[in-house]
Amino acid sequence: MEERNQLFRGVMCTLLGGICWGFSGSCGQFLFDHYHVDPTWLTTVRMLCAGLVMVAYVLLRQRERVTACWRNRRDAVKLAAFGVFGMLFSQFTYLQAINATNAGTATVLQYIGPVLVMVLVCFTARRMPTVREAVSIVLAVAGTFFIATHGDLHTMQISPAGLFWGLLSAVSLVAYTLLPKELTPVYGTMLVTGFGALIGGAALLVLTHPWPLVISLPPAGWLGVAGMVLIGTVAAYPLYLQGVNDLGAVKASMLASIEPVAATVISVVWLGSRFVAMDLVGFVCILTTVFLLAKKETGTEQ
């Protein structure tokens, strides 16, 4: 029963995290298209604000955990690595990819990441992918492809910069998924994600000096920024990391592929976008992976 409850929690947390990311991507596209917000500024603000909120939450509830992670030098190094190569890498590259192309194309490129996660996990475990895992990978990649291109390769016209940032975004998903695996069971997802966001945001602040940028947004623009901070980061990242803890890196990364479905639905309802039959094909492909991966395979390593 406990194992079943853990599986259910992992599935729900991962799906909710993916939906929050889908909403966040739509917010980012909204800000880029309507207000020409700079991606570096947006990444910095998003990470610093979200990090402060999450660390403050942990301070109020479990103050001792906040200092515990820094007293262990090995864990402190891992946390710093996660902040820079996990949080910052994934946030910055994905927003740059959206800005250089569009949310759909950026998502397709990012979801090469689960394939890389699968290859890495199988390589380190010295095993071949199970049939269910292999089929799920194919369906997730095919689904994101259909949603972004409607099955026509010629419609995916992106700039060299867009391809560059999109491929880096896929690599960043691997780093974000695997780097905190030893930290979150000890310190909790909220603290690890919060400090990761603070470290990544501070590093980007030092490296890029975005403060000379003058950002003047109407209330709708600031609501978009708030949505990215509170829903797309404060809620999404801890949910996803909890899913990684409960399900394993491979299954969690695949279940999170509901993100493009959520992004498409939200864009239809909110931004007035339209979808066609090939979008539905993509929906079916990705949702099929949810059912495949939600059923635990006995005798396999997660």
Per-residue pLDDT of 172-196, as tens digits, reads: 988 887 888 889 888 888 899 899 9
Residues with Cβ within 8 Å of residue 279, at least 6 apart in sequence: 146, 147, 150, 264
- Structure-token pair, residue 135: 């089929």
Phi-psi region of 272 (alpha: psi -120 to 50; beta: other; left: phi over 0): left
Q: Are 102 and 157 in contact (CB under 8 A)?
A: no
Domain ranges for the chain: 10-294
The amino acid sitting at 223 is L
CA distances from 113 to 52, 141, 145, 279 (A): 28, 10, 14, 21
Per-residue pLDDT of 16-66, as tens digits, reads: 998 998 899 889 989 998 898 999 999 999 999 999 998 998 888 888 888
Flag whether the pTM goes above 0.85.
Answer: no
| Burial (CB count <10 Å: 0-12, 13-18, 19+), residue 236 | buried
